Copies of this chain bind each other. A is one copy, B any other.
Amino acid sequence: MDTMKSIVMKGGQLRLQDAPMPVPGPGQVLVKSLACGICGSDLHLTRHTQEVFDLYEKLGMVSAEAAAEPQILLGHEFCAEVVGYGPDSQGALPPGTRVTSVPFLMTEAGQLAVGVTPGTHGAYSEYFLLQEALLLPVPDNVPDAAAAMVEPLAVGLHSVNRSKITATEVALVAGCGPIGLACIIALRLRGVRTIIASDPQARKRDMARQCGASHTVNPSEDDEMQLCAELARQGRAVIFECVGLPKLVPDFLQRAPEKSCLVFTGIHTADITVNLAYATVKELDLQFSYYYQPDEFASALQSLADGEVDWRALCTARVGIDGVPQAFAELMQPNDHIKVIIEPWRTGALDASWNR
Contacts and interface: CB of A to CB of B under 8 A. Distances in A.
Interface string A276-312: 1111111111111110000000000000000000000
A275 interface: yes
B280 A268 contact: yes
Contact of A271 (B275, B284, B287): B275
B264 A276 contact: yes
Nearest to A254: B58
Contacts of A290: 280-283
A1 interface: no
Given A268-B276, A277-B55, A287 B285 contact: yes
A75 B289 CA distance: 41
A276 B112 CA distance: 22
Contacts of A271: 273-275
A283 B289 contact: yes
Contacts of A280: 264, 267-268, 288-290
A92 interface: no
B275 A268 contact: yes
Contacts of A249: 276
A275 B272 CA distance: 6
A272 B55 CA distance: 19
A109 interface: no
Contacts of A267: 277, 280-281
Interface of A: 55, 58-59, 61, 162, 249, 254, 264, 267-290
Given A282-B288, A286-B287, 9 more contacts: A59-B281, A267-B280, A268-B280, A271-B274, A272-B274, A276-B288, A283-B287, A285-B286, A286-B288
